[in-house]
Structure 1
Amino acid sequence: MENSHQPCNRMDWDKLGYDVIPTDYMYMMKSNKDGIFSNGALVPFGNVQIEPHSCVLNYGQGLFEGMKAYRRADGGVQLFRPEQNALRMQRGAERLLMAAPSVQQYIEAVKQVVAANKSWVCTVKFLHHVLGFLFLFIPHLLLQVPPYGKGALYIRPLLFGSGSVMGIAPAPQCTFLIYTNPICNVYKGRTSPLNLLIDDRIPRAFPGGTGGVKNIGNYSPVFEVTKEAKGKGFSDVLFLDAMERKYVEEVSSCNAFMVKGNVITTSPTVGTILPGITRNSIMELARDFGFQVEERKFSVDELLEADEVFCTGTAVGVSEVGSVTYKDQRVEFKTGKNTVTQKLYDFITGIQTGVLEDQKGWVVKID
């Protein structure tokens, strides 16, 4: 690993970004020959032993999820809609012919691994108040705990075909693995809006493929085009549909929305677009606020006429898009305060962090 495993009390939390930071424990559970998962357990974070004939290494049979754990101001820790991640993993497992843990097993495993790594979740305000006077005498004390609001604990559940195969066939055994990693609040350390490049050469997903599930093989094929875009100063690539190369689909790792007047539009999840949990939550909140929300195909031309554009996802949260460039035409959008994007960001973040009351039953507390 590039980063040595260091205890959280030696972290410089002010410099927290999106680096690899191993935490203390991970969770592992395997299926039996009947496809039933059992005997899951926490184990110290470390390397995983895997058979060279495993299906994931030879044929890419694997899925991943992304979640976050947030510490509230009262000291408790909570998750945001974990059952939706569990259900999405089950749908992906069905597509790739893998056994999958039940929703209950999934959530219990996530709870265990978060509780075991609880010291890596941002600490509480009242702890700083209690220790505040000590800072006058022993300043380094407050540097030994993660400051409140500095970030979140990212949770990465994996499901992969660990069983051995030689011919092209699904694995006879699957492994469910969860590890965690502290990350900053701002997506990859960005302090400015996203500036996206529309690339119509390479589609992200094809009809009938696996674009609608979190297949591990969905991401490496776009490494080249996204690397080129970032080399030119863009934040990421906004991909178009594979058939006509004119309809907006999604960014490499997040869903895309446009705002025009009182209408918020995003592309439908019809097999090439991932049904994001943040995406679905934002759509529901937007309707509650009185916006008209549409799930429909929309063209690049429509996008370039939008008032606002934003992206949603576990990692990006709700991120405003400052500009989109298409065929050397750069179009800028409204960002900052008093925007629809900011309103939605504030509300969903408030629910996730416990600042706002959860009236929808989306939060699962780990106390």
Structure 2
Amino acid sequence: MEIKVLPLSEAEKKAKFTDESKLGFGKIFTDRMLLVEWKVGEGWVDGRIKKYEPFMLDPAAMVLHYAQEIFEGLKAYKWADGSIALFRPEMNARRFNHSAERLCMPEVPEELFVKGIEQLVALEQDWIPTSEGTSLYIRPAMIGIEAHVGVKPADHYYFFVILSPVGAYYSAGFKPVRILVEDKYVRAVPGGTGEAKTGGNYASSLKAGLEAKKKGFDQVLWLDGVHRRYIEEVGAMNMFFAYGDTIVTAPLEGTILQGITRDSVLTLSREFGLKVEERRIDVHELMNDIRTGKITEAFGSGTAAVVTPVGALCYTDQCLEVNGGGVGKHTQRLYDTLTGIQTGKIADKYGWIKKIK
């Protein structure tokens, strides 16, 4: 599909940020967006890059009533030589379509997904910040917009991409977080939508997250929804535990997100000579192994933070420090290597980087 670029006058362009240290996350958006429509009987039509502006949706738009919505998250980086790089965008395209299939939405051709993002980012490249730790966050999404009150897949969809320059995730330094193991609420169950990146999963996590923050924790670690016993994932991260030189993480069994950074961490861990285990982790085993020192590090992985060290884990009345509350050597090495590849400071021998021409 040819994507049309609609004109944007100088008067319609926004004033760009002047202080990259105050960017934050997801608060500022660029001048343009990508929009493509899918209509029953026609398929994907009318691809265009246009002015970033609000949608006009019918109050009966099905996304507002039945939550047919999916999204992705990835980043663009401006390297020291002025080139622009994406990190594994084809993986986002495949996960996006995996989510689409689960929610009975049309798949977006991988070429349209990736090429559309490349074209949009190339047009908006002046918005990419260049300070240490900054990047251009890319948010593809799809919503059902057919005006119909009735439970069924929509006949009309918007696939769109918006861009947001974001600041360094660790503005105060690379510091460990405190995590509460959630023992009351559940996020997902087998056969549900846990492995789909859909807004409903995040809406259902809000209450537990707010309650945890009131208690002084940064994030919630979910247990499985059947036994309330096995470790799954943190709200925005896959979770890892180091037993010395063995890295352990929960298996992909349909209830947690198939993290792209997760896959990258596992690849690098093997490359570093570490043993990798994808297996169920009993929360009681976990707490005992932290207490006895068998677990030497804990960290999460995700697009926003890349790798996040965990300094303390709390479950019921137990609150235990991991690695003395500090950053472990494997955690630091994985973070340094991943961010180094993403920003061009370390050679990419895995084919993860896609340059925008």
**TM, length-normalised to structure 2:** 0.91
Number of the residue aligned with 2:64: 57
2:148 alignment counterpart: 165
User: Is it true that 1:200 corresponds to 2:190 in the alignment?
Assistant: no
Distance 1:119 1:69 in 2: 12
2:332 to 338, 342, 360: 342
For residues 190 and 229 of structure 1, what CA distance do their matches in structure 2 show?
A: 22
1:89-100 paired onto structure 2 within 5 Å: 89-100=96-107
CA distance in 1, matches of 2:204, 2:317: 24
Write out per-residue CA displacement over residues 112-147 of structure 1, whole angstroms, 9 at most, x where no aligned residue.
Answer: 221122112123xxxxxxxxxxxxxxxxxxxxxxxx
Aligned-pair CA distance for 1:176: 0.4
Partners of 1:188 and 1:315 lie apart in 2 by 13
Q: Does 1:365 align with 2:344?
A: no
2:22 corresponds to: 15
Aligned residue pairs, count: 338
Q: Which residue of 2 aligns with 1:144?
A: none
Q: What whole-Å deviation, never above 9, does each CA across 1:211-248 have from its counterpart, x for those lacking one?
A: 01101110111111101111221101111011111110
Contact 2:142 2:160 in 1 (8 A): yes
State how far apart, in whole Å, the 2-side matches of 1:21 and 1:62 are: 22
Distance 2:51 2:333 in 1: 41
Alpha-carbon offset, residue 34 of structure 1: 3.0
Q: CA deviation at 1:28?
A: 0.3
The aligned amino acid for 1:284 is: T
CA distance in 2 between counterparts of 1:52 and 1:238 reads: 36
Aligned to 2:8: none
Taking the TM superposition and a 5 Å limit, the aligned residue runs for 1:9-158 are: 10-34=17-41, 36-123=43-130, 148-158=131-141
98 and 338 in structure 1: CA distance in 2 versus 1, 3 angstrom threshold: closer
Query: What's the counterpart of residue 159 of structure 2?
Result: 176
Three-state SS of the structure 2 residue aligned to 1:101 is coil
Residue from 201, 213, 216 that aligns with 1:230: 213
Instruction: Name the CA shift for 1:188/1:249 in 2 (closer, same or farther; >3 Å).
Output: farther
Distance between the aligned counterparts of 2:122 and 2:336, measured in 1? 27
Q: 5 Å matches for 1:255-274?
A: 255-274=238-257
- Structure 2 counterpart SS, 1:219: helix
Q: 1:229 to 1:35 in 2, by over 3 A?
A: farther
Q: Distance in 2 between matches of 1:237 and 1:63?
A: 22
SS at match of 2:137: strand
- Alignment deviations for residues 300-336 of structure 1 (CA, whole Å, 9 cap, x no partner): 1333322111000111211100111111211111265
2:181 is paired with a residue whose SS is strand
SS of the aligned residue for 1:273 comes to coil
Identity %: 41
Q: Which runs of 4+ in 1 moved over 3 A?
A: 187-191, 335-338
Question: Measured at CA, do residues 190 and 221 of structure 1 come closer, stay the same or move farther in structure 2, by a change above 3 Å?
Answer: farther
Distance 1:26 1:169 in 2: 28
Match of 2:229 in 1: 246
State the Cα deviation string for residues 133-192 of structure 1 (Å, max 9, x = none): xxxxxxxxxxxxxxx324111110001111222221000011101001111222586752
Task: Pick closer, same or farther for the CA change 1:187–1:248 going to 2, 3 Å.
Answer: farther
Q: Matches of 1:337 and 1:222 in 2, distance apart?
A: 27
1:309 maps to which residue? 298
RMSD (CA atoms):
1.7
**Partner AA of 2:185 in structure 1:** I
Contact 1:153 1:180 in 2 (8 A): yes
5+ residue gaps in structure 1? 124-147
Superposed counterparts of 1:314-333, under 5 Å = 314-333=303-322
Contact 1:35–1:99 (Cα < 8 Å) also in 2: no
Per-residue CA deviation, residues 30-78 of structure 1 (Å, 9 max, x unaligned), is 0122362133111111101112222211100010100011111111111
Q: Which 10-residue stretch deviates more, 212-221 or 157-166?
A: 157-166
| Aligned partners of 1:37 and 1:100 also within 8 Å | no
Which residues of structure 2 form unaligned runs of 5+?
1-12, 290-294
